């Protein structure tokens, strides 16, 4: 039958490296030729070193002018015709929509669409993007109607949302919870002595709840709660809900939070922090930052929104609070700050759940099985 070509389409090369490298290695080891179509940034050499072929594309995140988007689709058609993939695996909403149009024009045999959370479009009920929800749902419904198209969802809420919108045939819509985590690289460590740290590892955008965390940190400071709150990440100019660097520096100057900047040594972050917090407002798949923290046996504090509640069980491996509620968030953080034994108990269970349900090896195996089924169909 010859070597099969698997092509990943992802908006940013760093996202591929952080979220899909284990899957790509497993596919390579199973005999696939792996191509990565993405915006080439700082990770091309990392991709090439694994034996994968990086291919630059024009596709960018965010909403842009229609002429640029049409050019991006035509560019993708050209890439697909040159590389002749047997399977294309699209990651996130915009690559799914644009990539599926291109793949159908290029007659790619199998299309796998992985929606890594429904994002701003489906969670911003009162925001400027809400008018796009209907057209995008219609586009997804039409594009996923082909028997060549398989849809992967990361959480039960998103699966129910798309089924209600009649997107994707039920027999070709599959739940695979997140991208998994390397439980060897992310392993438990003892807490550092001193005042405990609650860290948020994320893009610093309002949709992730960063301003809600800052408001909670102000309340904790006013109460005199012995807890440091650290932001780990950077603003995202492509996201309309991004905070600015000047806002972050003002929060730091007020003594409300610490800003540790963009970090690549995330296991070290969880060695330094005692609590993981992500007060998302919605649109998540299964947050990889929480998976990594759980693998390091850190208790999780998050909100009752799709994706986050898929992973965090209140009182079992973390604490769950309502979204956009800084007071409830402050109460949860204060409770953990005051109780080291509770932190240890929740952290141990967080590690156990990740080992049982969320390893990257298990996710890769489940996805390879989808490839096999799709090709045989």
pLDDT on residue 130: 63
Euclidean distance between CA atoms 320 and 252, whole angstroms = 26
pLDDT score recorded for residue 317: 98
Q: What is the pLDDT of residue 138?
A: 86
CB 7 within 8 A of CB 80: yes
Residues in Cβ contact with 76 at an 8 Å cutoff, skipping those fewer than 6 apart: 9, 37, 57, 59, 98, 99, 102, 103
Q: What percentage of the chain carries pLDDT values higher than 90?
A: 81
Closest CA to 187 of 359, 372, 8: 359
Backbone φ and ψ for 91, nearest 5 degrees, come out as -120, 115
User: Which residues are within 8 A (CB) of 190 and not within 5 positions of it... i.e. 6 or more apart?
Assistant: none
pLDDT in tens, 294-348: 999 999 999 999 999 999 999 999 999 999 999 999 999 999 999 999 999 999 9
pLDDT band at 122 (very low <50, low <70, confident <90, very high): low
In CATH terms, 5-180+359-376 corresponds, of 3.30.1330.10, 3.10.440.10, 3.40.50.2000, 3.30.420.130, to 3.40.50.2000
Mean pLDDT score of the chain, rounded to an integer? 93
pLDDT digits over 80-117, tens only? Answer: 999 999 999 999 989 999 999 999 999 999 999 999 88
- Confidence class for position 259, pLDDT limits 50, 70, 90: very high
Question: By mean pLDDT, which of 6-10, 178-182, 283-287, 339-343 is the weakest?
Answer: 283-287
- Mean pLDDT for 32-50 is 96
Q: What angle do CA 87, 88, 92 make, to 5 degrees?
A: 145
Answer for the pair 144, 100: CB distance below 8 angstroms, yes or no.
Answer: yes
Estimate the crossing angle of helix 340-357 against helix 326-337, to 10 degrees: 100
Average pLDDT over residues 253-276: 97
Reported as a single tens digit per residue, the pLDDT across 219-242 is: 999 999 999 999 999 999 888 889
- Where exactly are the structural domains of the chain? 5-180+359-376, 197-357
Give the pLDDT mean for 268-294: 96
- C-alpha closest to that of 230 among 259, 205, 192, 203: 259
Residue 62: predicted pLDDT:
62
Q: Using CA atoms, how far apart are residues 303 and 258, in angstroms rounded to an integer?
A: 22
Range with the poorest average pLDDT among 52-66, 190-204, 281-295: 52-66
Q: What does the block give as tokens for 250?
A: 């003002």
CB 302 within 8 A of CB 279: yes
Q: Which residue has the tokens 């509640």?
A: 309
Task: Read off the tokens for 119.
Answer: 């994002």
The residues, any chain, with a CB within 8 Å of residue 239's CB and separated by 6 or more, are 61, 62, 120, 203, 205, 207
For residues 266-301, b (16+ Cβ closer than 10 Å) or e, as one string? beebbbbbbbbbbbbbbbbbbbbbbbbbbbbbbbbb
317 closest CA partner among 326, 309, 305, 325: 309
- The CA distance from 275 to 293, in Å, is 8
Which class does domain 197-357 fall in? Answer: alpha beta
The encoded tokens of residue 312 equal: 């965090």
DSSP annotation string for 317-376: TEEEE-TT-HHHHHHHHHHHHT-HHHHHHHHHHHHHHHHHH-BHHHHHHHHHHHHHHHHH
In percent, how much of the chain has pLDDT > 70?
95
Give the pLDDT of residue 165: 82
Q: How confident is the model at residue 126, as a pLDDT?
A: 45
5-180+359-376 shares its CATH topology with 197-357: yes
Q: For 138-173, how does the pLDDT look when each residue is reduced to its tens digit (9 = 90+)?
A: 888 898 899 999 999 999 998 888 888 888 888 999
Q: Give CA–CA dist 56/97, Å, rounded.
A: 18
> What is the average pLDDT across 36-60?
94
d(CA 116, CA 367): 14
Q: What pLDDT is attached to residue 164?
A: 85
Of 113, 75, 67, whose CA–CA distance to 94 is shortest? 113
- Report pLDDT for 125: 47
């Amino acid at each position: 039958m010859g070597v099969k070509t698997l092509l990943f389409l992802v908006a940013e090369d760093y996202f591929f490296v952080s979220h899909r490298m284990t899957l790509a290695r497993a596919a390579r080891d199973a005999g696939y030729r792996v191509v990565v179509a993405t915006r080439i940034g700082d990770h091309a050499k990392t991709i090439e070193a694994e034996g994968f072929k990086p291919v630059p594309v024009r596709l960018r995140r965010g909403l842009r002018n229609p002429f640029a988007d049409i050019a991006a689709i035509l560019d993708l058609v050209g890439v697909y015709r040159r590389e002749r993939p047997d399977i294309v695996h699209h990651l996130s909403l915009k690559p799914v929509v644009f990539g599926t149009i291109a793949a159908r024009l290029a007659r790619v045999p199998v299309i796998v669409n992985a929606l890594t959370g429904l994002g701003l479009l489906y969670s911003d009920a009162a925001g400027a993007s809400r008018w796009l929800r209907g057209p995008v749902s219609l586009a997804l419904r039409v594009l996923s109607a082909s028997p060549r198209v398989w849809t992967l969802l990361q959480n039960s809420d998103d699966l129910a949302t798309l089924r209600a919108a009649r997107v994707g045939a039920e027999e070709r819509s599959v739940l695979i919870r997140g991208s998994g985590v390397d439980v060897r690289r992310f392993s438990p460590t003892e807490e550092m002595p001193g005042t405990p740290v609650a860290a948020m590892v994320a893009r610093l955008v309002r949709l992730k709840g960063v301003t809600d965390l800052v408001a909670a940190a102000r309340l904790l400071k006013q109460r005199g709660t012995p807890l440091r709150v650290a932001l780990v990440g950077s603003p995202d100019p492509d996201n309309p809900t991004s905070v600015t660097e000047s806002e972050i520096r003002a929060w730091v100057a007020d003594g409300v939070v610490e800003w540790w900047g963009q970090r690549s040594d995330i296991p070290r972050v969880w060695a330094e922090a005692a609590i993981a917090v992500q007060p998302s407002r919605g649109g998540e798949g299964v947050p990889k930052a929480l998976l990594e923290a759980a693998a390091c046996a850190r208790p999780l504090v998050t909100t009752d929104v799709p994706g986050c509640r898929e992973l965090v069980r209140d009182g079992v491996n973390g604490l769950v609070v309502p979204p956009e509620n800084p007071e409830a968030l402050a109460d949860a953080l204060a409770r953990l700050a005051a109780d080291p034994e509770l932190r240890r108990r929740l952290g141990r269970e967080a590690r156990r759940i990740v080992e049982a349900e969320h390893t990257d090896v298990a996710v890769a195996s489940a996805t390879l099985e989808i490839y096999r089924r799709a090709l045989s169909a």
